[in-house]
Amino acid sequence: MIAYLIRRIWQMIPTLLGVVLLVFFLFNWVGGDPAYVLAGKMASPEDIANIRHQLGIDRPLWEQLWIFIRQIVSGDFGDSWSTHEPVSQIFRTRLGPSMTLLIPLMILETAVAVLMALLVSAFRGSLLDRSLMVASTMVMSISLLVYIIVGQYVFASVLGWFPVKGWSQQLSQNLTTYAVLPVLLGLLVSVAPSLRLYRTFILDEVGQDYVRTARAKGASNSRVLFRHSLRNALIPIVTILGLTLPGLFGGALITETLFNYPGMGLITVQAVQNNDVNTVMAATLLIALMTITGNLLADLGLSFVDPRVRLGGKS
């Protein structure tokens, strides 16, 4: 187990370096000069030079890269270019609200998608299966934007079941009132693609020899499905789970903005609008790091479930 962990972390290093380089060059090298934007239209050349010096962008590129790497290691990304608040401070206060949305969403999404996938696999080819598949295609074809705009109108404004938007200081109140509608609407978008994928995973297992053996031994339908097929289908499901993280964070940009939810998504959108490159860069990096860690955790979870992974039988 330890050997696997070390090997897995070792493999992560090139990816990590790649992400750092990608983020750095994406926001620095290819970009225009943010000093012009920050200084405004009436700035003199001295003003601009001054701002460039303050931001540290007048130094050579390799020196900036080194500063960026030092920032990553120390966790101190300097001050936001627009609000002048330390970036690390911004993230510390914004990560909580985002997680109040994302964690329930992930748990619910996985649970609902797995249960529904089991249900449709059990009745494979039936009217229920076919109509659910047709419906899921329809549900996943609607933009998250439409869901939120219509959802806020119907459930919050007309029916008054939830507040339209907002946020309180208490976790419990957020979870029970403010986060409910965004999570449910997010669920609507994310369950359908997962359901379709999980269904094929489970159906792949149902066709295997061991399932026939289990049936031959006289195992009941539900036992075969839950004890045999599901356990094996969990392997690809857990692998996929880590890969869904970037999509969830992307969705958070839209959800948090429309619900005026003070999380990472909203701060990123605001930073983009204010040309606050420092904050956007740090946010992108942070989310990429969380995704890589998520994939690592998924793989570690997998190695518990499936010894073949740990022993490195096949890549």
Partner 1 sequence: MTDNQIIGNIEETGNTSTTPIATTPSLFLQMLKVFAQNKLAVISLVVLVLITLFSFLGPLVYHTNQSNSSAYLGQICDQAPSSAHILGTDSTCFDMLGRLMVGGQNSLEVGFFAALFAMTFGVAYGLISGYLGGWIDSLLMRILDVLLSVPGLFILIALITLFGRSKVLLIVVLGLTGWYGIARLLRAEAISLREREYAQAVKAMGGRPRRVMYKHILPNAISSIVTNGTFAIGDSILGLASLGFLGLGLTFPATDWGTILNTSQNSLLLGYWWEVFPVAIMFLLVVVSFNYIGDALRDAFEVRLRERG
The residues of the shown chain that bind partner 1, judged by CB under 8 A, are 14-15, 18-19, 22-23, 26-27, 30-32, 134, 137-138, 140-146, 149-150, 152-153, 157, 164, 243, 246-247, 249-250, 253-254, 257-258, 268-269, 272-273, 275, 280, 283-284, 287-288, 291-292, 295
CA distances to 5, 191, 302 from 117, rounded to whole Å, are: 31, 10, 20
Span between the terminal Cα atoms of the chain, in Å: 16
Cβ closest to partner 1, residue 177 vs residue 275: 275
Cβ closest to partner 1, residue 23 vs residue 191: 23
Cβ closest to partner 1, residue 247 vs residue 307: 247
308 in Cβ contact with 314 (< 8 Å): yes
Work out how close the CB of 91 gets to partner 1 at its nearest, in angstroms, rounded to a whole number: 15
The shares of helix, strand and coil residues in the chain, as percent rounded to the nearest 5, are: 80, 0, 20
Cβ closest to partner 1, residue 80 vs residue 225: 80
CA distance 17 to 73: 12
Work out how close the CB of 30 gets to partner 1 at its nearest, in angstroms, rounded to a whole number: 5
Count the residues in the chain: 315
Cβ closest to partner 1, residue 196 vs residue 223: 196
CA distance 78 to 21: 19
Work out how close the CB of 221 gets to partner 1 at its nearest, in angstroms, rounded to a whole number: 27
266 in Cβ contact with 256 (< 8 Å): yes
Work out how close the CB of 65 gets to partner 1 at its nearest, in angstroms, rounded to a whole number: 16
